[in-house]
Amino acid sequence: MFEYLQPKDGPVVDGLEPYEIVMAEKQPEYNPLRILPGATPHGERLSRWTFTPEQRLAIANGADIFLELLTFNLPMQPIRIAVGDNPSDEVFRQGYNLVYFEKVPV
């Protein structure tokens, strides 16, 4: 089995929808992706992905997750992958400096 994950059909973090933007919305060669952008010098971009029942079973049975990055031959940027279920919006409100900012330009 080797199947690509799909973005979650819903908010990246419940309660922070007003801060979200959609990447690649007008780029037909890519799938549109909802993200929560950070308003910090690090330029965080958080997306949320989901698993099909078959993928969940495969992971439970020991399958690995593969991460593919398009670097366009530039240096790779730091990345992190997390697993979670309904994280607190306050964690991202503070960590992404969303307290005083509205949408951040892409």
Residue 102 lies in a domain: no
* Residue 93, pLDDT score: 87
Query: Which of 39, 21, 44 has the alpha carbon at shortest distance from 99?
Result: 39
What are the DSSP calls for 69-96, one per residue? ---TTSPPPP------SS--HHHHHHHT
Residue 61 lies in a domain: yes
Model confidence at 104, in pLDDT bands (50, 70, 90)? low
Residue 18 lies in a domain: yes
Average pLDDT of the residues of the chain: 89
Domain count within the chain: 1
Residue 104 lies in a domain: no
Tell whether the model's pLDDT for residue 102 goes beyond 70: no
Residue 56 lies in a domain: yes
Tell whether the model's pLDDT for residue 100 goes beyond 80: no
Tell whether the model's pLDDT for residue 105 goes beyond 60: no
Give residue-wise pLDDT tens across range 1-24.
899 999 999 999 999 999 999 999
Q: Name the residue with tokens 């199947």.
A: 3
Query: Where is pLDDT greater, at 58 or 76?
Result: 58
Tell whether the model's pLDDT for residue 95 goes beyond 70: yes
Residue 106 lies in a domain: no
Domain encompassing residue 32: 6-95
Residue 103 lies in a domain: no
Residue 105 lies in a domain: no
Q: Which whole number is the average pLDDT over 36-55?
A: 93
